[in-house]
Amino acid sequence: MSNKNNNSLAIIENMDMKSVESATRKINEFQAIVRKNLKEGRDFGTIPGCPKPTLLKPGAEKILMLMGLQSTYEILDSTRDFEKGFFQYQVRCTLTKNDMVITQGLGSCNSREKKYINQDSYTIDNTILKMAKKRSQIDASLTVASLSEIFTQDIEDTGVDDDNNKKQKLTKIEDETATEPQLNLIEKQILGSHLIIEKEKGRLEKKISEIITKKEASEIISWWLGDKQKGIVGEREKREKAEKEKQLEENKKKLLMEEIATLRHEKFLENDELFYKTLKLNFKLEDCTEKGLKIVIEKLKKYGEEIDE
């Protein structure tokens, strides 16, 4: 016991107290910045009976962004027993800056946790992995700037205060997480569709990489596929209709362009410079609407009649 005390004292004696004081001051300043920038109900939650707020995933991500840190994840151990329906993951989150390791956090999750007991264990493999990843990220975030003094990590995420400071449970509890069939549908029919734009795709990919509820997944699916009972027309149907209309318009323009090419040949106006100058056109054919192309055809026919006369 005496040796341990002596070793601890030796460490303290060799420390630069001015540097320690400066580091402590910077930690306090950063903690103040975190308090100012994180929003209750979104980045952290207040749980009745807990002395400190609970840091949530959006808050952890914001902290990493404020510090300019990148996170990588490594599965340390896993069990995927499809016969018994048991899944577990142990994940390590490593935070780096400019390729230098700053700190690490650990997180684990398994399908026998209380929140998953009533779910079909064969469909929550991905959910278990994401939860373990989330927990390791929050653990690392709390460690990186001594934020355990401000926040705690509650793996249940049981509740937060609303804007009116009325205590209520989180609506995003883990036993309501999206099912594998829902996630598969989103990935294959929505993210895999050529009708989805890149910005939407990026936003959805980020969304489903996190823990989302059945309700959120249903809203995404209804947005894309529609809901006849609620009278919602899906984006896919709207875009397919718009795509068909666009294709029909392009086909009409193609036929009109072919007619123009025939008339130009007949009237010896195949030379572009001569063609535009003769018809006094101040626009390019490829930029024309269907209506504009029809006007060009009328001009060509009229020019042809004048030549014939």
Which residue, 233, 255, 276, sits at the end of a domain? 233
Same domain for 267 and 207:
no
Which residue, 193, 213, 233, sits at the end of a domain? 233
Q: Distance between CA 130 and CA 153 in Å, rounded?
A: 16
Given this model, what pLDDT does residue 123 score? 80
- In 3D space, the residue among 209, 208, 186 whose CA is nearest the CA of residue 196 turns out to be 186
Given this model, what pLDDT does residue 273 score? 87
Same domain for 137 and 80:
yes
Same domain for 248 and 166:
no
Given this model, what pLDDT does residue 299 score? 86
Q: Distance between CA 135 and CA 78 in Å, rounded?
A: 15
Any residues with CB less than 8 A from the CB of 235 and at least 6 apart, and which? Answer: 195, 223, 224
Specify the 3-state DSSP secondary structure of 112. Answer: coil
Structural domain span for residue 217: 180-233
Tokens representing 151? 């926040």
Where on the phi/psi map is residue 49: left (φ > 0), alpha (ψ -120 to 50), or beta? left
Same domain for 132 and 223:
no
Given this model, what pLDDT does residue 7 score? 56
Given this model, what pLDDT does residue 37 score? 81
Same domain for 150 and 67:
yes
Same domain for 153 and 81:
yes
Which residue, 233, 251, 270, sits at the end of a domain? 233
The model's pLDDT over 56-102, given as tens digits with 9 standing for 90+, comes to: 888 888 888 888 999 999 999 999 998 888 999 999 999 999 989 99
Q: At 77, phi and psi to the nearest 5?
A: -155, 145
- In 3D space, the residue among 58, 28, 32 whose CA is nearest the CA of residue 44 turns out to be 58
CB 116 within 8 A of CB 138: no
Given this model, what pLDDT does residue 58 score? 86
- The count of structural domains within the chain is 4
Say which residue the tokens 């601890």 belong to: 8
Which helix (H) or strand (E) element contains residue 97? strand 86-97
Given this model, what pLDDT does residue 161 score? 38
Same domain for 139 and 56:
yes
Same domain for 23 and 68:
no
Same domain for 83 and 46:
yes
Given this model, what pLDDT does residue 95 score? 94
What is the residue type of 197? I
DSSP annotation of 59 = H
What is the separation, in whole angstroms, between the first and last Cα of the chain? 119
Say which residue the tokens 């001569």 belong to: 274
Given this model, what pLDDT does residue 287 score? 85
Given this model, what pLDDT does residue 11 score? 61
Given this model, what pLDDT does residue 173 score? 41
Same domain for 122 and 57:
yes
Residues in the chain where the model's pLDDT stays below 70: 1-15, 47-50, 154-176, 304-309
CB 212 within 8 A of CB 171: no
Same domain for 189 and 125:
no
CA 227 to centroid of chain Cα atoms? 24
Given this model, what pLDDT does residue 12 score? 58
Specify the 3-state DSSP secondary structure of 128. Answer: helix
Residue 281, class by beta-carbon neighbours within 10 Å (0-12 exposed, 13-18 middle, 19+ buried)? middle
Same domain for 161 and 66:
yes
Pairing of strands 159-161, 167-169: antiparallel
Residue 299, class by beta-carbon neighbours within 10 Å (0-12 exposed, 13-18 middle, 19+ buried)? middle
Given this model, what pLDDT does residue 49 score? 61
Given this model, what pLDDT does residue 13 score? 65
User: For residue 155, how many other CB atoms are within 10 A of its CB?
Assistant: 17
Helix axes 198-208, 214-225, angle to 10 degrees: 160
Any residues with CB less than 8 A from the CB of 51 and at least 6 apart, and which? Answer: 152
What is the value of pTM for the model shown?
A: 0.49
Tokens representing 277? 């100058």
Tokens representing 39? 């929003």
